[in-house]
Amino acid sequence: MSYIALARKWRPRTFSELVGQPHVSTALVNALNQQRIHHAYLFTGTRGVGKTSVARILAKALNCEQGISSSPCLFCDACTSIEHGRFIDLIEIDGASKTKVEDTRELLENVQYATVIGRFKIYLIDEVHMLSQHSFNALLKTLEEPPSHVKFIFATTDPQKIPPTILSRCLQFNLKHLDPKVIGNQLQFIIDAEQQQASLEAVQLLARAANGSMRDALSMLDQVIVDQSTPINLDHVKAMLGYTQQDFAIQLLHAIIQQNASQLIQLCRQISAEGGYFDYVIDEIISYLHQIILCKLLPADNTPQTNAIQQLAHQMTLSEPQILYQIAIKGTKEMYLAQTLTIGFEMVLLRMLTVGMDKMEFSTPSPSPTVNIQDPSMQPAVAVVESIDWDGLSAKLNLTGIARTAIKNAEFISKTDTDIVLGVNKGHQALFTASIIKKIEQELSNVYKTTIKLILQINSNIQNSPLHKQQRSNVEHANQAQAALDNDVFFQELQQEFSAEIVQNSISLIK
């Protein structure tokens, strides 16, 4: 007997065997049990999630010789013929190769004729979105009022391309991506049934690599079984998929935290030497950063993590993995724009390390001595309190970027010979990182020719920062300009003569 691929051998034969789509199977089972059978069904979803399988199960349920049922017998001539693709009253059509209107008209010419052996004549059109507009128009009337012995079943990966007039005449079921846990459980069941052996880590990697497709998962399992005669382990799966053998993602994150640029580059070169599967490493970094954030946000009992993830989470603040995550997500696309993929990958990792050097202090559990945050209810312990022109001073400071934004959002509280106290809204506290505070202190020290320390008071009612004052001034000027325009005789004449209108946000007061 010839070998049957696992994806075909383990294709679900009944609704109870359909994996990961309970919302679809439950609805169809209830409809069949209640004999509420529609004349047209549309199954949508990405590749390998079960669209065609559901269509064939539905065809068996409608034509089983034991009667219409949600549990076809699987042994009658109709059920076996449908499973082997030789049931004469199940007409399967590939929409990608039958796109012309002539094909559709030829198909519809036989709709009126009775079935040959089955209860229903079923037209199963796969990738129906590939039909031309003229084909859809030709199909429309028949689809709306087909003969009682005819049922239409459509499948597509792109329902947006189907005209609304067609969609409105179908019952639509969206088959979702399968969760890696669901795929992993089904893979383990099949591995046991096939009398094979595989490690849990290998099965989990296959499930993740399938990207929600059960068919892709079974195809990869087929390949790894052929490639390896020994029990399947993680290294076998990685070798088959072309993945790096070491867990480089953890090592790279440690190098970023430790600000070790030489180790980072060395690891990047090792990845390149092993085959340069950079996508996999980036995906692993993204996955680990997600786990780190969950580890920090959720109780340990609810998010069991490996020791490596817990160690990384302990060394990072909550905002740090968020920033690295954003860089990694953007880097998955940007690294392909580089001259070589190796350069692009290295630049993504170096960007992570550079951000860590400039804006974050990963391995410092204790606060930086330059960051001093006071409770708003406490008065600073000062010897002589001075009053200064904070708006004028802040404008003269040689600051750019985030440092200038931070200083514009700070309200002056008080100053002594050695300290300046600023009030900051809680929402702007994140701007004042250790490196930003150091830059501001350096500029203030240059102005006063002595060492100045910055003290922050976190307050939710900051109203007199330079930015607040500027915004109020802008509003006042805009109101003055509007009032001047309203009182302008010439403009009033323009409105009356030519129905002139004011372009909003274009009014300004010239001083």
Domains of the chain in start order, with CATH, are 6-174 (3.40.50.300), 180-241 (1.10.8.60), 248-359 (1.20.272.10), 372-464 (3.30.300.150), 467-511 (no CATH)
CA 387/CA 416 separation, integer angstroms: 9
| 377: number of Cβ within 10 Å | 7
Query: Could you please report the per-residue DSSP string of 168-236?
Result: TTSEEEEPPPPPHHHHHHHHHHHHHHTT--B-HHHHHHHHHHTTT-HHHHHHHHHHHHHH-SSPB-HHH
pTM given for the model: 0.60
pLDDT tens per residue, the chain (511 residues)?
578 889 888 999 999 999 989 999 999 999 999 999 999 999 999 888 999 999 999 999 999 999 998 999 999 999 999 988 899 999 888 887 777 888 788 888 888 888 888 899 999 998 899 888 888 888 888 888 888 899 999 999 988 999 999 999 999 999 998 998 999 999 999 999 988 888 888 898 899 888 889 999 999 998 888 876 678 888 888 878 877 667 788 899 999 888 888 899 999 888 888 777 888 889 889 989 998 888 888 765 554 557 888 888 888 888 888 889 989 998 888 888 888 889 999 999 998 888 755 544 444 443 443 445 554 444 444 644 466 788 888 888 888 888 888 888 888 888 887 888 888 887 778 788 888 888 888 888 888 888 888 888 887 677 788 887 887 777 777 777 777 777 777 767 766 776 666 665 565 555 5
> Among 414, 397, 415, which residue's Cα sits nearest to residue 406?
397
CA 317/CA 86 separation, integer angstroms: 62
